Amino acid sequence: MIEELESLGLEHYEAKALEVLFKSRLGVRELSKRAGIPFGKIYSVIKDLKEKGFVNETNSRPKLVYVENASEIISRLIKEKQNKEKEMSEKLREIATVIDKERGRETKFFEIGTSQEDNRRIQLRTFNEAEKEILQIINIHHKPKSNRESKSMWEKAHLEATKRGVITRAIYPKEVILPKSLQELGKKYPNYKVKRIDTDFMRCDIIDGKKVLLKLVQQDPMQFGGVFFIENEKLAENLTRIFNELWGQAEQDLKT
């Protein structure tokens, strides 16, 4: 367990002390002995763990050092590590994007499409890159019968993603009739779910909680504003929250 605790950001002696304290309340000398921490260092280790809120001491004589709740400590360490990794990932993506832009190269983390061909290609990234989950908000400007060549290609890619086990939750306008391929998808695969609500919120996909596809669409299907594919956890988190609010308000699908 010591290696795992160190991987979550603890110092070596902190990890050794916690491993022992997860199981027993101990005096300082006994903790030093059981954890294999030199007695000359044990007080500073306890002080650091107390300052981090991981251990407490009794008011008894002699004082005993103890952990209140092991699972809370582990949960907090995991969350702190995830937040640090998320911040690091975002910083590295920003740096890589700037470098690629300065050199006139395409960047994986931020892509803009301004043509129908771009739209066709970038939309495929949703289905090809998804590993666990796709959340889709299809707004009231959606026209399922227009641009059928591209939509048929996307539907095939969506089927392959679903076969891989990717979960899809899609929000569609109330009166839109889904293409037969998506109707069959919903009947055959329980990991493809549709709900209905009329919204003019931006057309978007959220992929695996870290990638976002945004489309600028209007009532006129021939008027295409553009498409953006962005890898950013904070943006994905914000849009997921909006999606979940809409999903909670939406009605079960009756049109498939």
Domains (ranges, CATH) in the chain?
2-75 (1.10.10.10), 109-252 (3.30.870.10)
Residue 72's SS3 state is helix
Question: pLDDT > 90: what percent of the chain?
Answer: 60
Quick count: other Cβ atoms within 10 Å of Cβ 228?
16
Residue 90: its pLDDT value, please? 77
Give every residue of the chain whose pLDDT is below 70, as ranges: 144-147, 218-224, 254-256
Residue 195: its pLDDT value, please? 95
- Cα 185 to its chain centre, rounded Å, is 25
Residue 254: its pLDDT value, please? 60
Written as one string, the DSSP assignment of 27-38 is -HHHHHHHHT--
Distances (CA, A) of 180 to 137, 151, 235: 19, 12, 32
pLDDT in tens, 150-173: 888 999 999 999 999 999 999 999
On whether the CB atoms of residues 73 and 54 are closer than 8 A, the answer is yes
Residue 229's SS3 state is strand
Residue 46: enclosing H or E segment and its boundaries? helix 39-51
Question: For the purposes of burial, counting CB atoms within 10 Å of the CB of 158, is it exposed (0-12), middle (13-18) or buried (19 or more)?
Answer: buried
